[in-house]
Amino acid sequence: MNPARVIGLAGWSGAGKTTLLARLIPVLTARGLRVATIKHAHHAFDVDRPGKDSHTHRQAGAVEVIVSSARRWVQIHEVGDAAEARLPDLLRRLSPCDLVVVEGFKREAHAKLEVHRAGNDRPPLHPDDPRIVAVASDRAHPDASVPIVDLDAVEAIADLVLTLAEPMETALARLEERWPS
């Protein structure tokens, strides 16, 4: 396995980042890649639910819970009043893979593919973010200085992602430069 490469999907809420990622992952895995994702949420979320043992453990005060089975495992870490986890810290926690696609974290300094939808009625991010290396959109961007690809051209988007993703070490160095520990 080659060292992991990293690219983000950035865009305004409602642009279709998750929809694109759900279409992109099968294309990438069909090409033989082990793909990992990191998703940023701007709100509180929960991955377990009342009545499940993991939920009971957390409600009882456990700061970390690992649930494991023959098919998968998950680790739940309670942050409490501490600072939100930083992207470089999350990247370092991943198991070995070929490609990491980061959904969200649009203000961070890693290479990103912008997802822009005209119907979202929001301005594109790429003119003001030098770390946006390409745009997937449902409209033309004639003044763009980065490659533009149709939002529905998933194979072409996969090609761009594989070409423009940066080595994990490069992404980590830039992220740490911006947010030193």
Q: What is the pLDDT of residues 3-59, one digit of tens each?
A: 899 999 999 999 999 999 999 999 999 999 999 999 988 766 677 788 888 888 988
SS3 content of the chain, % helix, strand, coil (to 5): 30, 25, 45
Given a cut of 60, is residue 67 above it in pLDDT?
Answer: yes
Given a cut of 60, is residue 66 above it in pLDDT?
Answer: yes
**Cα separation, 53 vs 47, whole angstroms:** 12
- Angle ∠(5,10,13) on CA atoms, nearest 5: 145
Contact 17, 103 (CB under 8 A): yes
In DSSP terms, 168 is beta-bridged to: none
- Residue 163: per-residue pLDDT: 97
Given a cut of 90, is residue 180 above it in pLDDT?
Answer: no
The DSSP secondary structure of 2-52, one letter per residue, reads: PPPEEEEEE--TTSSHHHHHHHHHHHHHHTT--EEEEE--SS---SS-TTS
Q: What is the pLDDT of residues 128-158, one digit of tens each?
A: 999 999 999 999 999 999 999 999 999 999 9
**Domains in the chain, start-ordered, CATH in brackets?**
5-44+83-178 (3.40.50.300)
The mean pLDDT value for 65-87 works out to: 86
**Cα separation, 87 vs 103, whole angstroms:** 11
